[in-house]
């Protein structure tokens, strides 16, 4: 399987490419007033509101750096009702891919109770890469409000 690699701080992470709709350059976002921590705002994606989550802000409490290698990654997010929606993720240094098999990933041995989206890890020649589980990225409270807030902010 192919994965998009990116960084949060100095650590490397991976998103499964099959779940990615597009990788775009960083765009201007409209902030969502009183949004949950980690919600960066809303983007105009082909005339539709696209809610955007900042992976660095979620994990470290620091917004992603605005650089040429920071990307807006559009992922397919499946809601509990089965509806699939696009969700934007800000990811730093999202400029390379790697091929790993599911069996290559192992339990990290450390529970990330506050970050259920952090999955198993794989070791490669450059160190450890941790998989991000998109389905576990949003809490139910954030998920239930996010697209509604994005539509309201988009008006």
Give tens-digit pLDDT for 65-102. 999 999 999 999 998 888 899 999 999 999 999 999 98
**Predicted local distance difference test score (pLDDT) of residue 25:** 95
Instruction: Specify the CATH number for the domain of residue 10.
Output: 2.40.50.180
Residue range(s) defining the domain that contains residue 78: 2-154
pTM listed for this prediction: 0.93
* 116 vs 20, residue with greater confidence: 20
State pLDDT tens for residues 87-96. 999 999 999 9
Cα angle 71-77-78, degrees, rounded to a multiple of 5: 175
Q: What is the pLDDT of residue 149?
A: 86
Q: Structurally, how many domains does the chain consist of?
A: 1
Q: What is the DSSP string of 76-95?
A: EEE-TTS-EEEEEEEEEEEE
Buried b (16+ CB within 10 A) or exposed e, 100-120: beeeebeeeeeeeeeeebbbe
Query: What rounded mean pLDDT belongs to the chain?
Result: 92
């Amino acid at each position: 399987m192919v994965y998009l690699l990116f960084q949060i701080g100095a650590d490397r992470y991976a998103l499964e490419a099959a779940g990615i709709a597009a990788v775009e350059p960083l765009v201007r976002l409209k902030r969502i007033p009183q949004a949950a921590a980690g919600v960066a705002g809303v983007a105009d994606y082909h005339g539709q509101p696209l809610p955007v989550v900042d992976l660095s802000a979620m994990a470290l409490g620091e917004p992603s750096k605005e650089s040429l290698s920071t990307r807006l990654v559009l992922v397919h997010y499946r809601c509990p009702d089965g509806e699939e929606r696009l969700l934007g993720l800000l990811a730093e240094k999202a400029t390379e891919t790697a091929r790993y098999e599911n069996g290559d990933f192992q339990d990290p041995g450390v529970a990330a109770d506050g970050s259920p989206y952090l999955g198993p890890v794989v070791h490669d020649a450059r160190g450890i890469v941790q998989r991000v589980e998109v389905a576990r990225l949003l809490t139910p409270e954030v998920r239930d409000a996010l697209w509604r807030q994005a539509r309201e902010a988009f008006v």
